[in-house]
Structures are given as C-alpha cells and as structure tokens.
Structure 1
Amino acid sequence: MPTGKLIHGFVLLDRLYLREGTFFVVTDNSSLFPPRDHMISPLMDIGAGHNMESTDRELRFITPEEATEVLGENAILIEDFSAIVYDTEQFMSHFYHWWGEIILGAWRVYSSLNTLPGGPSILPFPARFLLPGVPGNEWKDRAGVNAPLMRACFPSAEIGKSDHWEDLIDLNRTFVFERAMIISRETAHRHPLAGQWAKMVASTMTVDVASDFWEPIRKATLTNMIDYVPILNHHGHVIAPSQAASDRPLVTYISRQGGGRRLRQDDHDGLVNALKELERAGLCHFHVPQMEKMSLNEQLQLIAKTTILVGVHGNGMTHQLFMPSSPRSTVIEIMYPPSYVFDYEMLARNVGHRHYAVWNDTLHTYPKGKYHEGIFFAEGFHGESIPVHGQSVAEVVRERLTARV
C-alpha cells in the first residue's frame, strides 16, 4: 500500500490483481500485510447468520513465482483509481451510510496519500465505482439523494454493478487494477474503534490527513449542483458570489416534525421561537426547512451557506458534509436523553464542524481527541416526543456566533 499501512474495511492497494472474481495480492512477504479478515469479507448480508470469515474465494496472497502459473503471463490493465464497494446492497440505500460512511471513509484513507513525502497535492477522483454485490439500483436511496450527488461529484466515473463484475469473471482473464480500494463494511466493523463507536468509518479516524481533506469533494459537488461554492468570512457572512451574499451567518434547523422521530410539538415551537429571537436580534438569518419538500438543488443551496446546523438525530444531519467548515461551523444534534450515538459526530469531526449533543437543556461537546463514553439508545430514541429546551440551544448558538475567533 502506498501509505505503508492498511485500514480495516478501506484497503488501498496498488497493482491489485483479479481473476474469476478473486483478488490476488502478489508479494514476496505476506507477513507485511494484516490478516485477510482485516481486508475483506464475503459478499453476504451482515447479521443474517452467515460465516463472514474471508476465504481464498475472496482474496489470496501469492508469490511472484506463483503468479505466472495462477494468473497467466498477461493481465489486462484497469487504469487509474477504482473504488470497489465489496458489500451487498443491505446498507447502501441510505444517505448517511453511502455518503457519510462509504464515500467519506474511502476519501479520508485515499487522502492520506497527500501526506506522503513527494505525494500528490491534488488527487485524481475515482475513475469508477464497482459494486460486485449489487444487481440493480438497490444502492440508491428512497429520497433520491445518493445517485444525483454521485453524478455531480464524479461525473466521469462509471458505476459498475454485479453484471459488470460477472462480465469480468466470464472473460476468464486476469485483470490488474492500477490502484484500487476494497471497501467492506463487515471488515471495517472488526476494528477496535468500531466497537467503541459502532461506526464503519471508525478505523479511518486513525489515518492522518489534512484538515481540509474533504474540500475537493464538497467543492466539486456544489459546483456541479448549484454552479458556485459560497465563500464565508470569519463572521459566517457569505461574501461571494454576489448572488449568494449575506450580511449575517445562517442558522438552519432541519425539522423532522413530519417524520417518525421528532420533537414534542411544544418543544419544537419553543426551539423555533428561541432561534427566531436571535434572528430578530440581528445575530443571524434563520431557516426551518423540511428537506423532503425541497429539491436537492434547493437543499444544497441552503446547506452551502449554513454556519450552524440544528436538528434531531436523523438522516438530514448528513447534509453537514456540504456545509463550509470554519471556526464557527457547528452541528447541534438533539437526542432523547440520555441516548448517545456517534453517527453525526463522526461526520462533524471529519469535515471540521464543532459538534454538540443535546439532552433537553444540557449540551455536550468534546474537544479533539476526547469522546463521550459509550453508546446508549433510550426507549424514546426513535419516538415522537423528544424533549428539547429551546433557550438552552439558542444560548449555545449565540455563543458560537459571538465568540472571538
């Protein structure tokens, strides 16, 4: 691997061979590599009673001396960078799982190449995404977000599914990927940090990357979706382009009052009123969108100008991936107390936002390197009566908007 180490579930390799659906690593010393079970798992649903230990069917180590006999004398080159999502569709058709885990985790590991001596300053985007375990459009989410964002961010990239993979098998030839990443959810969850945070991207948090590693993805997506990338000053004002300019920072509260997991109605009203008071005081502009009623273009126009994002734990918080990072950028996630999960905190830490977990009138935040202890789902976590004290949230918003930076 170019960076010298392999990350559970996000294995980046140069000159990875493929024949009849099996990967081959050609090496004189397989002991330099981690156990195979840290690299790949079978293409089967997780938690369905299957044996998920990898076998020679998925990946083999062979020596250069064995290569000619096993692989033949010639290999067909697959150029550039290939992202191989080696999973079934089980967890793909979800905005958070696709963008907040698969794409974010892969890009973080790939971006570690920038930190190498003499490494590239600009990384080429993946030339293709291969989904060997997905027969059709099952990777697309019901809200219709995953695929359009992929086409916006990676307009030249092919997305090949199981029929593409079967074609490679049927040719009965050897292929060699110039550079490839094997992405495997089951394998990623074998990392010790995955047990601590229960997140696929946990293992990637050990990878050193630049603080702005996500910016190429964010900027490419916004440019191709809304034709511009808002530039904010240190106050959170949009100063360019002119059509998006603003004289105050934007606070966005993503309402879930039309969904299953939502606030008590009185608390929702109290939160809206408390945040509107900040707007009336001239501290911010304030919006309360219902994302499901907006076009994707409208959603991104709003998020791309947002400095503080507030919402109940849920899929909409994945939008923070396209918020601009700044010393003031903040994600305030409301959970049923004393529940605690790491989904959107992991995103915030990756892309440079300060994260707060809200338990009614108590807000928890942790500095870099420190984390909440444990995961807990209270009985009302997915319920329709989640409490929140609006004034407590508004006070933190006020502090974030007025603090010296």
Structure 2
Amino acid sequence: MPVLIRGPTRLSGRDAFLVLLGAFSMHIFSLLSAPFGDSGKNDIVVSTHFNSTWHVDVGEHPQDVLDRDKGKAKEKEESHPNKEVDLIFDSPKHELPQLLDVPSSSPGFTPKVIPPVEPVRLDIRTVTDLPHTTVEHHAPGWTLFRDIYMSNGTLFVLGPESARSSLPDRFYVTSTGLKAENNEENIRARLPTEREFDFINEQDAKRKWGARDDIEKNRVWTVEGSTILFNDPGDQFINHYYHFVAESLFGAWAFWSSAHASKVNSLDEVPPPDRFILSHSQPFGWRDGPGFNSYFLRAAFPSMTVETQLDWEDRITHTRQPIDNDAEGQYGRAYHFPTLMLMDRSASFKGAICGSRNQRIAAESVEYMKSKGLLAPYGWEYDMPEGVYSADRLKEEKIVYGGKRGWWEYVRKRVVEFAGGNADEGIKVDKVEVKKEEVVKDEAKDAGLRGANILQAQAQARKAKAAGSTAVTTSAENAPVVITYISRQGGRRRLIHEDHKKLVEALDELVERKNKEEGQKRKWEMNVVQAERMSRDEQVRTMSRTTVLLGVHGNGLSHLLLLPPSPLATVIEMFFPQGFAHDYEYTSRALGIRHFAVWNDTAHTWPDVPRVNYPEGFQGTEIPADGASIAKLIEDRIEGRLP
C-alpha cells in the first residue's frame, strides 16, 4: 500500500526558497489581475454631460396662496368614491434650459442623436468628493434627478452653496404624502418642508457622511440602478386601476421614455427602471380589485422590483442619525441614488395644467415633454404645441424620430403580448391624407339626430371648411373596424335599460349594413363585453384589436390604453347630461385617440369640451343614450366625415 500521508518532515533551504518564491509570484499576479475582476457592488455611474436645469420661476408661492385664501380650498371631485382635494395654483410656465438641439419645425424632424458619454465608474465609499446632484428634467410633480441622496427620509440635493438658490421650489417637487382631505389643516399638512426635500452643500455632506480619521470610507451606500419613487398616499388613489395605470404609470413612462429620447435609436432600447418605490403604500395597498395594477406592471416591466412603505421605512431607519451627547461623534449615513425620478400627486396639482385645467397629474408630465419636443408622437395627434411639432411633421405617413413611433407602444406592446395577443393586430393604417373637407350635409338632414341637436364635431368641420382650412381624413379601405361596447348594466353607474338595448340594436344594424355595402373593403365587427365576466387576458386581447371603444364613464375605459395606434382610434364616453370629467378625455388625447363626450344625442370633442361637472344622476342608473345618434357618430368618424 503506497503511503498517502507522511508525518512532518524538515524543509531544506532550497525547498523553503521555492515556497516563498511561489507565494510571492501569486501575490504579484493577483494584484495585476484585480482590475479585471468584479469591481464591487458599490460602484456607481456618474454621468458628466448633464447640465443642471434647476432654474424655475415659481411665481406666487403656495404658502402665500394659503394665507391669502384661508379656508377656501377647492375640492376636486372624482368619479369614484375617492375625492382628490387641493388648491388651484396659477403657477407660471416652467421655462427650463433646452437640453437638446431640437429644431422647432422640420418636415422630417429627425433630431440629432447624441451618443452617450462613456460613464466613469466610481466607488462612492472611497471618492474624495461625492457626486453633485443634477436635475435633468422638472415639471410640477415630476422630477428626474441624477445623483441624489436620502438620509433619515429626507431627499438631499448635493451641490456647491452657489447652487442653492437655483433649486426647484420644493412645493413643485414633493409633499408630505398624506391623504388629501378637504380642509385647510390637511392642505397645510401636505405642504413639504426641509424634512422632505432639502439642499446640502459639500462641506455639510462631508461632515455628515464623509470619511474621518477614525472612519476610512464615506458612510454613503449606492442603491444601484434606476428608481422611480411614487410619493402618493397608499390608500387613496394608487389602489385604483385608472389612477395607478392610466395616471401614475402613464405619466411616469411619458417622462421616463422622453428623457431618454436622444440617447436611443428605438423605443425598445429605452432602459426600463430597475425599481418602483411606493413609499406610502403597504404591500397590498397598491393593488386594485380587478388586479390590473400588478398585471400591467409585471407584464411591461418583468424585471423591475417593487418596494413599499415597509422597505422605505427600513431605509429611513438605517440612515437615522443616532442620538447621543457627543454631537461631533454622530455619524450619519445616506443612500445614494444614481438615477431617481420622483412623482408626487400633490405637487402636480400645484401646476397650471393639472391644478387649473384638467386635474390630471399625467398632463404635467406629457405636456412638459411635448413642449420640449421629446415625446415621440404617433403622427395624428390633434393637440400638439405649435412650433414644436409642425403640421408637416404630423401629416407624414411615417414619423421619423430616431427610429421611434408612439411613446406608449413600449408598454402597450408588452402587455398585449403577455396576454397572448398580437400587438400588431389592428395597427394596419391607411395613408393619412390632408385634403379639403367634403361638404357636410345639412344638419336637419343628418339621420339619427333629434331635433335641432347637432354634433359639436360636425360644427367644427363646417367652420374649418368655411375658413378654407384643411382637415385630416383617412381612406376607408383595408383596416378592419372593431367596435367594443363595455356594458355596465350590472354596475351602479349604467344606462337606462331600454336605451342600452336600443344602442346594441343600432350598433348591430350598423355593422351588418356596412359589411353588406357594395365596394366596402373594411370588415366591421361588434363586441358587447362585461369586463367582470372576462379574464384579464381576455380583456386585454379584446381591447388590443379595438378601433372604437365606448361605454359609460367608468374604470373600464382605462382599457383605452390598449387600443392599437391608429388615426381612426376613437373613445366614446357616455355621461349623464351636463356631466363631464377629464379622466379619459385627456388620456385619449395624449395618445392621439379622438374622444367624444356624449350627452344622450349630443357629442362634444376637443377643443370644445364641457366644463367639469358632477350633476345629480352622474353616478346613477338612469343615464340616457340615443343609440341611433351614437351609431351615426361612429360611421361618420370612420368614413372621415368627422375629425
């Protein structure tokens, strides 16, 4: 048997020398190869090509408004049981420095794609000077930061003392995140202080978090990747499908994707955020009853993590400065966020668009990015700002914007495919032509309209013709027309039963007649659905091929987010007469979808939309709807007789 283990032996001088030589060689090799190994988890990306855009003319201060109008807070009504309450602040436009060299009007409108600067990787724990904060984009309630810090629950903007005065007013950035109530005490309680958002100069940051004689490294830890921080109250809005998906997520993606517009060649290349932090929501607090909040989020962003109030409180607790009698011995901690987008509902309501015009927080995000020319258009939008998106640009058959088309398609496509649908179905679009509007028939001869009532949209078309202007119409060939009526007859807000039956009959008759018309190249289809009787996948697949979506004002119309992009895409929202809310009107318009608000046999469309109103009967079970008028509206819209 061979000897496998020997007892201790005496090393010769030669053997000892060889052992030492081998150890020394391995040490030298490890030093040389170290830079090519794992650089550690505390590395950060510091971008050096962003300019600060903190300069904001905030005008009248919200605190002054409170003091001036004490006790006169205006309540914001919502169509569901929650009510959103805030003051209306007549805030000025937020003029920010232009970040890109974007022409104000160009037929092709192909912005110069700026190649990304090669990032410099630093270890935040060992740097001598902590990276300064930059604000890449800011609108009321929507702010994109680079290199921002959080300690003990306070978001800190770090920079030289000279930058303090150029910091955006915190009232347009954040709030305390409390639930909104209709009283002055609550309104004051939601106004932010330095406890929520503050500036810190280099010296104070180094004193609080920097290395010292007895501590070799900075007491700052990087939260790797990108973060979207939602500061909404957890039990008031974000547990509602419309508010979470069609407002918060909708506005967040408009802001996020547009901020990356110059850095990618395709919308598919926009880097998704790594995490959502819902700082005031419990783990189940952000989920809605039908389950579409988590469905959308997990389908569109499968790799993104979600942190809730407990996680955020962990971060607050672990960066809380200990209390002792030795002030100089207090060592603070901070988390560093390389990229963080902050969204705050109360701050959005301080903006002129949301607070004074439409009460839609996403509007501040979308309209800001439109004003910068960064929102990737579909090409048939009807409310784009003049001088930024030219008429020549919007009439092109294909919109060239760095290879992108339609800013929401990134999300819609992923959700539809997750449901097993074809994201390209229904997208086939005929060439958009600009031509003189055909003569509109005399309103007294318009079939299906009662008495002297006439669609507001038809009046607009006649005015356009009289002025010698042009109107965008589409040919009625090839693309199928799918009408989907969301019935709420089992819900608390619904049509008069007989009107519901007549509406279905009128739509069925329309579809049957159109399919029999000689020379009709389009296939027409009619669906009557009750969402509560369908699976989420079935709902998504149905909406993903819908051309015309109609229903009583309600949560189901949030599905308009799934309609295939088309200049014919239409939403018809039925209200109790004299009632109106901007919820689905603005969301439709932001996607280039034509929205009609219908009062029985009369329709309204942008720019002549009614004022917001919740009359008695708004939430009731006796909402009237003239089926013949609505069927005529759909036919005229598809055939190009209406905008």
Tell me the residue number matched to 2:221. Answer: 76
**Take 2:204 and 2:419, find their aligned partners in 1: how far apart are those partners?**
49
Q: Which amino acid aligns with 2:592?
A: G
Matches within 5 A, 1:281-292: 281=513, 282=515, 284-292=524-532
1:235–1:249 contact (8 Å) kept in structure 2: no
**Take 1:191 and 1:247, find their aligned partners in 2: how far apart are those partners?**
40
Tell me the secondary structure at the aligned position of residue 79 of structure 1: coil
Deviates more, 1:377-386 or 1:195-204: 195-204
2:148–2:340 contact (8 Å) kept in structure 1: yes
Tell me the residue number matched to 1:240. Answer: none
Tell me the residue number matched to 2:303. Answer: 156
**Take 1:373 and 1:142, find their aligned partners in 2: how far apart are those partners?**
31
Matches within 5 A, 1:230-269: 230-232=424-426, 233-234=428-429, 248-269=480-501
Q: Which of the residues 15, 20, 35 maps onto 2:152? A: 20
**Take 2:265 and 2:230, find their aligned partners in 1: how far apart are those partners?**
24
**Take 1:332 and 1:326, find their aligned partners in 2: how far apart are those partners?**
15
Aligned length: 392
- Deviation digits for residues 355-388 of structure 1 (CA, Å, limit 9, x no counterpart): 111011111111xxx3535311121111111111
Tell me the secondary structure at the aligned position of residue 190 of structure 2: coil
Matches within 5 A, 1:153-232: 153-172=300-319, 173-194=333-354, 195-204=356-365, 205-208=367-370, 209-211=375-377, 212-226=406-420, 228-232=422-426
Residue 91 in structure 1 maps to residue 229 in structure 2: no
1:401 is displaced (CA, Å) by 2.1
Cα 1:371–1:14, aligned 2, differ >3 Å: closer, same or farther? Answer: farther
Tell me the secondary structure at the aligned position of residue 306 of structure 1: coil
Q: Percent identity?
A: 33
- Deviation digits for residues 162-221 of structure 1 (CA, Å, limit 9, x no counterpart): 121122123223111111111111111111112221222231223221111111011111
Cα 1:371–1:98, aligned 2, differ >3 Å: closer, same or farther? Answer: farther
Tell me the secondary structure at the aligned position of residue 206 of structure 1: helix
Residue 393 in structure 1 maps to residue 630 in structure 2: yes
**Take 2:272 and 2:616, find their aligned partners in 1: how far apart are those partners?**
43
- Structure 1 residue runs of 5 or longer lacking an equivalent are 237-245
**Take 1:224 and 1:385, find their aligned partners in 2: how far apart are those partners?**
37
1:76 is displaced (CA, Å) by 1.5
1:120 is displaced (CA, Å) by 6.3
**Take 2:490 and 2:610, find their aligned partners in 1: how far apart are those partners?**
32
Residue 136 in structure 1 maps to residue 287 in structure 2: no
Tell me the residue number matched to 2:69. Answer: none
2:226–2:274 contact (8 Å) kept in structure 1: yes
Cα 1:179–1:120, aligned 2, differ >3 Å: closer, same or farther? Answer: farther
Residue 55 in structure 1 maps to residue 193 in structure 2: yes
Q: Which of the residues 37, 42, 52 maps onto 2:171? A: 37
1:66 is displaced (CA, Å) by 2.5
Tell me the residue number matched to 1:357. Answer: 597
Q: Which of the residues 260, 276, 294 maps onto 2:508? A: 276
1:5 is displaced (CA, Å) by 4.0
Deviates more, 1:141-150 or 1:315-324: 141-150
Cα 1:135–1:199, aligned 2, differ >3 Å: closer, same or farther? Answer: same
**Take 1:396 and 1:71, find their aligned partners in 2: how far apart are those partners?**
64
1:143 is displaced (CA, Å) by 1.5
Q: Which of the residues 84, 93, 100 maps onto 2:246? A: 100
- Deviation digits for residues 236-292 of structure 1 (CA, Å, limit 9, x no counterpart): 9xxxxxxxxx98321000011100111111111111111111211215100010001
**Take 2:244 and 2:337, find their aligned partners in 1: how far apart are those partners?**
23
1:219–1:229 contact (8 Å) kept in structure 2: yes
Larger Cα-atom Rg: 2
**Take 1:380 and 1:299, find their aligned partners in 2: how far apart are those partners?**
28
1:197–1:342 contact (8 Å) kept in structure 2: yes
1:67 is displaced (CA, Å) by 1.9
Tell me the residue number matched to 2:585. Answer: 345
- Deviation digits for residues 27-71 of structure 1 (CA, Å, limit 9, x no counterpart): 331333321010000021111642111012111112233221233
Tell me the residue number matched to 2:67. Answer: none
1:145–1:296 contact (8 Å) kept in structure 2: yes
1:299 is displaced (CA, Å) by 0.1
Q: Which has the higher contact order (CA 8 A, sep 6+)?
A: 1
Matches within 5 A, 1:375-390: 375-390=612-627
Tell me the residue number matched to 1:6. Answer: 138
**Take 2:279 and 2:550, find their aligned partners in 1: how far apart are those partners?**
37
**Take 1:59 and 1:70, find their aligned partners in 2: how far apart are those partners?**
16
What value does the CA root-mean-square deviation take over the aligned residues? 2.1
Deviates more, 1:354-363 or 1:71-80: 71-80
Which 4+ residue blocks in structure 1 deviate beyond 6 angstroms?
none
**Take 1:302 and 1:119, find their aligned partners in 2: how far apart are those partners?**
32
**Take 2:341 and 2:308, find their aligned partners in 1: how far apart are those partners?**
16
Deviates more, 1:286-295 or 1:392-401: 392-401
Q: Which amino acid aligns with 1:398?
A: E
1:191–1:202 contact (8 Å) kept in structure 2: no
Deviates more, 1:318-327 or 1:163-172: 163-172
Instruction: Calculate the TM-score normalised by the size of structure 1.
Output: 0.91
Q: Which amino acid aligns with 1:201?
A: A
1:234 is displaced (CA, Å) by 2.2
Matches within 5 A, 1:324-343: 324-343=564-583
Q: Which of the residues 275, 280, 303 maps onto 2:543? A: 303
**Take 2:175 and 2:551, find their aligned partners in 1: how far apart are those partners?**
35
Tell me the secondary structure at the aligned position of residue 226 of structure 1: coil
